Amino acid sequence: MVVSAGPAALVSRAAVLERFETPIRMRSVEVPEPRPGAVVTEVLCAGICGTDIHLQDGRLPIPIPVVLGHEAVGTVAALGEGVDSDALGRPLGIGDRVMWASSIACGTCYYCRQIGEPTLCANRSVFGINRRADQFPRLSGAWADFQYLDPGTTIIRLPDDVSTEAAISLGCAGPTSVHGVVGIARPRVGDTVVVQGSGPVGLAAAMYARLSGVERIVMVGGPAARLELARTLGVADAYIDIFEVKEPAERLVSVLRDTQEGRGGDVVIEATGVPSAVAEGLEMCRPAGTYLVLGQYTDHGATPINP
Ligand SMILES: [Zn+2]
Ligand SMILES: [Zn+2]
C-alpha cells in the first residue's frame, strides 16, 4: 500500500528491527528522490532468509535500527540522473521488473582488489543487514513498499519469461550457491557431491552442483517435507533424513555407502547454519576432497572438531 500526500511525500511502510530479540516494528518512512546514479524500486516480493531470523536474535553485530530484507524482486519506480541501463548494459526504464545484488563492495580494499573476494570486503554495504534505518536513505532493506538502491548497486532486469516467484526463490540462495559451489568448491564432472541441508541454500547448491556436471549428489537434510520437495525437483540422487537417521555416526555410514567405493564425497557442501554439522560433514569428505562451509554466516557458537 502506498500513501501519497503530494508529489514530495511518498510514504512507504517498512519492517524495522529496532532492538534484538524483539518483534519487528512497522514504520512509515518517506521515500526519497533518487540521487544521481541511484534507483528507487517498488518491492513486489521479498524473501525471508534464515539469516533474518539470526539477525533478529542478535547473532551478528549489526547496526540497528535496520529495515530487514536482503533478497527481493521489484519494479523500477524512479531513476536517478545518469541511470539508463542495468548491470548487463540493457536499457532500464520505469516499470521494469528487476532484481539487485544485496551488497555493494568498495572495490579498493585488500579483499576486493588483491584477492578478488568482494563478499569479504571490509567496507561492504549490505542492504537489509548493515544499513541504518535512521540515516539517509533509510529505505535500505527490502521489507518495505519501496527500496532505495544506492549508486553502484548491481541491478538486473528480469527476462519476461522468468516469474517473480521463480526469481525470488533464488534471491539469496542463488548468488550464495553460485559463489560457493561454482566459484569456490568447483565440483568436477563425475564427482560425488554431498550436500548437508535441504533448505533454500542446500537445494540451490545441489542444483548448481548438478549444472557443474557431477555424477552423484547425496542430500542429508530434513524435515521430510523439504526432502520431498527436493525429490520432486530431482536435485539429488539419494536422500538421508536427519530426523529418521538421528545419530551422526549412523548418518556417516549411510552417506559413505552412497559415495564411490565408500570414500566419501569429492566435495561436501555445508548448508545448514548448524555449527555441529561442520564436524559431521568433514567426516563425509574423502581425503584430499573439498569441504565448503556455506551456511555459517552468523554466530551460533563453537563446535568441537576432531582433526
Ligand atoms: Zn540470505
Ligand atoms: Zn572492499
Q: Supply the ipTM of this predicted assembly.
A: 0.96
- Which ligand is nearest to the Cα of residue 101, counting in written order? 1
Q: Are residues 209 and 154 in the same domain?
A: no
Please give the residue range of the domain that contains residue 199: 174-293
Read off the C-alpha cell for 240: 538421508
Distance 171 CA to ligand 1 centre (A): 8
- Which ligand is nearest to the Cα of residue 125, counting in written order? 2
Domain end among 112, 146, 164: 164
The amino acid at 215: E
Q: Are residues 224 and 148 in the same domain?
A: no
Q: Are residues 131 and 50 in the same domain?
A: yes
Q: Are residues 64 and 17 in the same domain?
A: yes
Q: Are residues 126 and 192 in the same domain?
A: no
**Does residue 197 contact residue 272 with C-beta atoms inside 8 Å?**
yes
**Does residue 259 contact residue 192 with C-beta atoms inside 8 Å?**
yes
- Which ligand is nearest to the Cα of residue 109, counting in written order? 2
Rounded-to-10 torsion of CA 232, 296, 263, 231: 0
**Does residue 233 contact residue 245 with C-beta atoms inside 8 Å?**
no
**Residue-level pLDDT, tens digit, the chain, 307 residues:** 444 444 457 999 999 999 999 999 999 999 999 999 999 999 999 999 989 999 999 999 999 999 999 999 999 999 999 999 999 999 999 999 999 999 999 999 999 999 999 999 999 999 999 999 999 999 999 999 999 999 999 999 999 999 999 999 999 999 999 999 999 999 999 999 999 999 999 999 999 999 999 999 999 999 999 999 999 999 999 999 999 999 999 999 999 999 999 999 999 999 999 999 999 999 999 999 999 999 998 888 899 988 8
Give a yes or no: residue 306 inside a domain.
Answer: no
Distance 106 CA to ligand 2 centre (A): 4
- Which ligand is nearest to the Cα of residue 204, counting in written order? 1
Q: How far apart are CA 200 and CA 273, in angstroms?
A: 12
Give a yes or no: residue 191 inside a domain.
Answer: yes
Rg (CA), the chain: 21
Give a yes or no: residue 301 inside a domain.
Answer: no
Place of cell 518512512: 29
CA atoms within 13 A on the CB side of 54: 18
Place of cell 578478488: 116
Domain end among 117, 146, 164: 164
Distance 126 CA to ligand 2 centre (A): 12
Q: Are residues 137 and 254 in the same domain?
A: no
Distance 118 CA to ligand 2 centre (A): 6
Distance 78 CA to ligand 1 centre (A): 26
- Which ligand is nearest to the Cα of residue 201, counting in written order? 1
Q: How far apart are CA 99 and CA 76, in angstroms?
A: 10
> How is 8-26 classified by DSSP, letter by letter?
T-EEEEEEEE-STTS--EE
Number of domains in the chain: 2
Give a yes or no: residue 145 inside a domain.
Answer: yes
Give how far Cα 80 sits from Cα of 30, 88, 136, 250, Å. 17, 18, 15, 57
Distance 260 CA to ligand 1 centre (A): 33
Residues at Cβ < 5 Å from ligand 2 ion: 105-106, 109, 112, 121
Give a yes or no: residue 303 inside a domain.
Answer: no
Domain end among 164, 198, 217: 164
